Structure 1
Amino acid sequence: MLVKDVMMTLDSFPVILENVIFKEALEEMNHKKLGIACVVNQENSLKGIITDGDIRRKLLKIQKPLSAFFIDDCIDHAIVSPIVANADFTLEAAVEIMRNKQIWDLPVVDNSNKLVGLLHLHPVVEALLKK
């Protein structure tokens, strides 16, 4: 089984442009009910990710009013070198990456770093249990 057989499609998880304000990124994460947003440019190249955990750590580290975060560009709070997978990776290889890095989500990109999907742990577990 390959990553492309299980990954979420672009319309089913938060994908936001790098110049969107942070508040809108949080609203999109809340709307899609997922603790990650992928940040892309106009050409859909992956520029970074924002996760619930990264937001929590950033709020604790940076001493500024919470409302001041909301107007920042979302890329200012993104992890700009995220760990990624390719759609043609085996599911087992992707799960090994997720296990080693202790992450639940893995952006899926093509060979030119265009975002094509997201591998989320819950669908992966379901697919592996059915296998």
Structure 2
Amino acid sequence: MNIIKNIRNSAIKVLQTEAEAVQNLIPNIDGDFEACVEGILHSKGRVVITGVGKSAIVATKIVATLNSTGTPALFMHAADAIHGDLGMIQKEDFVLCISKSGNTPEVKVLVPMLKRMGSKLVALVSNTESYLAEHADYVLNATIAAEACPLNLAPTTSTTAHMAMGDALAVCLLEARGFSSDDFARYHPGGALGKQLYLTVEDLMVKDAVPVVGAEAVLTAVILEISGKRLGATAVLDADEKLVGIVTDGDLRRMLEKHQDLSKVTAKDIMTKRPKTITRQEYAVNALNRMRECNITQLVVEEEGKVFGFIHIHDLMKEGIV
């Protein structure tokens, strides 16, 4: 029991330490941060992010976030930079160098080379009096009180702080560019997230063999239409072929409880009036949300009374949207 208690206490202490460190970054969003965002926003170059060790890993994450939110970015390992990778840097680029101490040997070799190339240098550091900070054009201050590691050695709080500052930078650039959900979808076409942002109802709906019956259709015809088209429902149309209702498997079961003489039952007698509908141009994820809200499994795809098809929750599940 004591071991479990110690584990919990240690984990809680780590989270509290890192949360407090991120909270303490708020006063560090200063003029340098604003100027850095403005500079990148109006630059014709890219953001090249570099670092060594854990800072290099943080750099790759920030690069990915920037690229996915509309800011072109590249990763360059600081050790590889001085062995040929500097060739990827152009004069118009902003180089963001991540370093807790700001005094690592690789950084001290790299900084003068970057300055000679004319690129703007951004320091993301936890030591604002470091070599890197002193020579940078912009300083993003990610100072921390201590690492979450009890030895105050393993990069824990510092990497969290650097990551958070990178997220702040990316989101500010996103908002400044007016980056929209449509833009986001173009950069994320794969996976459930991307599909939610670009797949429409028309992309997924059942267009062929759409189940429809007239309002005066007899019960046998309704049952055959539902079973034959295998969607568990049929749209009901009036004399002008406009949507007036829907008959589902559930409606058929409820009908058996209410009607004794089935020979005279027609579609209009058992249909649900004003069925839940959706248009072809709406996003498929909106169809899912509407199904969940109404606790149903399909929607009629309809526009101005004309039925174009059905969209079923199974269609959304097959695409991984659910």
TM over 0.5: yes
Report whether the alignment pairs 1:52 with 2:249: yes
Report whether the alignment pairs 1:128 with 2:303: no
Corresponding residue to 1:25 among 211, 217, 222? 222
Cα deviation for residue 58 of structure 1 reads 2.8
Distance 1:4 1:86 in 2: 8
Report whether the alignment pairs 1:117 with 2:117: no
Which amino acid in structure 1 is aligned with residue 282 of structure 2? Answer: F
Which amino acid in structure 2 is aligned with residue 128 of structure 1? Answer: G
Cα deviation for residue 72 of structure 1 reads 1.8
Report whether the alignment pairs 1:37 with 2:234: yes
Which runs of structure 2 are paired with 1:50-129 in the superposition (5 Å)?
A: 50-60=247-257, 62=258, 64-65=259-260, 68-110=261-303, 112-128=304-320
Which amino acid in structure 2 is aligned with residue 22 of structure 1? Answer: L
Question: What percent of counterpart residues are identical?
Answer: 27
Q: Which has the higher contact order (CA 8 A, sep 6+)?
A: 1
The CA RMSD over aligned residues, in Å, is: 1.5
Which amino acid in structure 2 is aligned with residue 85 of structure 1? Answer: I
Distance 2:246 2:266 in 1: 13
Distance 2:224 2:307 in 1: 20
Distance 1:79 1:27 in 2: 18
- Structure with bigger helix share is 2
Partner SS state of residue 128, structure 1: coil
Instruction: Show CA shifts across 1:50-70 (max 9, x none).
Output: 01112212322x1x42xx224
Which amino acid in structure 2 is aligned with residue 120 of structure 1? Answer: H
The runs of 4+ residues in structure 1 deviating greater than 6 Å are none
Partner SS state of residue 50, structure 1: strand
Partner SS state of residue 300, structure 2: strand
TM-score by length of 2: 0.36
Which amino acid in structure 2 is aligned with residue 103 of structure 1? Answer: I
Partner SS state of residue 19, structure 1: coil
Cα deviation for residue 113 of structure 1 reads 1.7
TM-score by length of 1: 0.85
Distance 1:3 1:18 in 2: 26
Distance 1:8 1:127 in 2: 14
Cα deviation for residue 29 of structure 1 reads 1.1
Distance 1:17 1:58 in 2: 18
CA contact (8 A) 1:86 1:109 kept: yes
CA contact (8 A) 1:23 1:71 kept: no
Note the residue ranges of structure 2 that are not aligned, 5 or more in a row.
Answer: 1-198
Identify the residue that residue 212 of structure 2 maps to in structure 1.
Answer: 15
Distance 1:12 1:121 in 2: 17
Note the residue ranges of structure 1 that are not aligned, 5 or more in a row.
Answer: none
Report whether the alignment pairs 1:2 with 2:200: yes
Distance 1:56 1:72 in 2: 13
Partner SS state of residue 115, structure 1: strand
Partner SS state of residue 87, structure 1: coil
Distance 2:240 2:205 in 1: 21
Distance 2:240 2:283 in 1: 26
> Could you say which structure has the larger radius of gyration?
2
Partner SS state of residue 88, structure 1: coil
